[in-house]
Amino acid sequence: MKDLVKRFPNQDRDVIRAISFGIVPRECVSLLGPSGCGKTTLLRLLMGIERPTSGTLAIDPSLIGHLSYVFQEPRLVPWRTSLENVLLPLELSGKAVDGSSAEVEELLTLLGLGERLGNFPRELSGGMQMRVALARALITKPKVLLLDEPFAALDERTRFRLQDLLLDLRARLDLQYVFVTHSISEAVYLGDRVFLMDKSGQINTDQPIAFPKRDQLLKVTPEFNDQVSAFARRFTALEGGA
Amino acid sequence: MNAQIRDKAPAWLFLLALLGIWQLIVGQGWVAAYLLPAPSDIYATTVELWPEIWSATQSTLSSIVWGLAASFAIGVTLAIGFFAVPILRRAVLPFCVFFQTVPIIAIAPLLVIWFGFGETTVKASAFIVSLFPILANTLTGLEETDPLLREMFQLYKPSKWKMISKLQIPSAIPYILTGLRISVGLATIGAIVGEFIAGGGLGSLIDSARTQQRVDLVFSGVMASSVLALLLVLSIDLISRLLLRRRPYTRSA
């Protein structure tokens, strides 16, 4: 991505300016920044939901058509059951739909949806709804998943469980993701690298963070907490400086 | 159950009081029976002439159902067409307002000229008055889909028809049902007005009772048509509830 500018018509400032970043193969990154800095906008530009005001958005051609997006809200179709919601992308893009194929079944089991396939979204908890939304994003077999604060509205226990689910999915499906969040500990926990975005829309990339093993126990280790406090200091500096 | 009784009891008590006062006024001769027959007389007439009233009711019901079914089929199809092809909408929709504004009583003689005396005219009359609410409601429903869902659908680059059939039509279902509920009452009016002019059904029963000075029978006919309209509205409500219980169609998540 180069010299990218995005400006919304009702605002007098550019939300994003001149961003260029790359992800190395197999890497998963967190995109961290204060609210209103343009994290979501950047993700939406990547997905093609928004168009740049000027500049070019250049994405690695091998990724085109292999991105998938998870919104902040589950955005499930209320009149479709869990299974029908998961299969929706296939129906819409005119692909063959076989809800009972081994592949679909495997994905649903992986996401822990086995018993909830016939339920409508209103009958599901927030965490379950988000699992359905994740399955819907994964049904198209993307290489890179773009996640826009998907767990922000969930209670802490559910959030932790879904974070671990995401790590598990990553390992099993050979998945890469860009995870947007404003939670520092979530960013450190889920990202091999944390990109810090400041209020002018600039991105500061950083060295990879290596943890031997990522599980919820990691969060109580000093290594983890050192990383979190380091980012917290920089985060505060960014907010103050903007 | 108790709560339900408490809820409904005042209305029933009021009805009983009303009927009692009515019976008293007419029974005492304070109002002439040829202007306002007593409830007991209306009841007796209804029982006596039940076969005629029942067959007239069936005939009216059939015209309403036909007219409403045509409104539903044509209204929903037109709305989808207007939604999918905006130029069609700009060209034709202004003239559809005609269906909303035309006084049905004024156009009924024309319908008789075209379709003759009888059921066809009555059905056409029921159709004309009931088309617009279904058309307008469906169109609103198609247009007012949840923007968040629309954005989610667009991620998968669906064809225009897929978007309409998988998002916009299902979202419009509650609106279509509301349109039907409004239209069923209008179709009843349309059918009875049609029958005044073209004959048959409750409209003709009421009209001929009037010419024979049978005010009691006029009341029976009026009663039958109100009960009919009420039952029709209740059946639409029931169908809506069953449909939405099976699948929760709503505008947004």
Chain B: residues touching A (Cβ < 8 Å): 148-149, 151-159, 162, 166-167, 170, 247-250, 252-253
* Helix %, strand %, coil % of chain B (to 5): 85, 0, 15
- Chain B residue closest in CA terms to A129: B253
Mean pLDDT across B57-86: 96
Residue B172 amino acid letter: A
Q: How many CB atoms lie within 10 A of CB B12?
A: 10
Mean pLDDT across A140-168: 91
Give the ipTM of the model, two decimals please.
0.86
- Chain A residue closest in CA terms to B163: A92
Residue A99 amino acid letter: G
Over residues A1-13, the pLDDT tens digits come to 333 444 444 444 5
Q: Which of B155, B249, B253 sits opposite A76 (nearest CB)?
A: B253
Across the beta sheet with A2-7, the strand order is A14-17, A2-7, A54-56
Q: Which of B148, B157, B158 sits opposite A75 (nearest CB)?
A: B148
Over residues A51-76, the pLDDT tens digits come to 877 766 777 777 778 889 999 999 99
How many Cβ contacts (< 8 angstroms) between chains A and B?
Answer: 54
Residues of B with Cβ-Cβ distance to A78 under 8 angstroms:
248-250, 252-253
Q: How far is CA B69 from CA B6, B123, B139, B232, in A?
A: 38, 10, 18, 13
Residues of B with Cβ-Cβ distance to A93 under 8 angstroms:
156-158
Residue A106 amino acid letter: E
- pLDDT band, very low/low/confident/very high, at A20 (cuts 50, 70, 90): low
- Chain A residue closest in CA terms to B252: A78
Over residues B110-133, the pLDDT tens digits come to 999 999 998 999 999 999 999 999
Chain B nearest CA to A6, separation (Å)? 19
